[in-house]
Amino acid sequence: MTDPDSAVADSPPGSLQPADDDSAQSGRWDAVWILLPIVVFVVLLVAMAYFAS
């Protein structure tokens, strides 16, 4: 009946609060994975401009 992947399934019985799943940590990693390709692209662009000159 319950979804084993949901946060409520990991909470203690009788608790309406979801289990601690480190959502702040997860949000931080989401920001890293969004910004990392942008940073790599800018570094490659600068490197190409430097070597082309």
Residue 32 lies in a domain: yes
Residue 12 counted as domain residue: no
Q: Which two tokens stand for residue 2?
A: 């319950």
21 domain-assigned: yes
- Give pTM, 2 decimals: 0.48
Domain assignment of residue 43, yes or no: yes
For residue 17, pLDDT over 80 is answered with: no
Number of domains in the chain: 1
Residue 29 lies in a domain: yes
Q: Is residue 28 part of a domain?
A: yes
Domain hosting residue 27, numbered range:
17-52
**Closest to 10 (Cα-Cα) out of 19, 2, 1:** 19
Q: Is residue 44 part of a domain?
A: yes
Which position has the higher pLDDT, 30 or 27? 30
With pLDDT > 90 as the criterion, what percentage of the chain qualifies? Answer: 38
Rounded to 5 degrees, φ, ψ at 11 are -80, 155
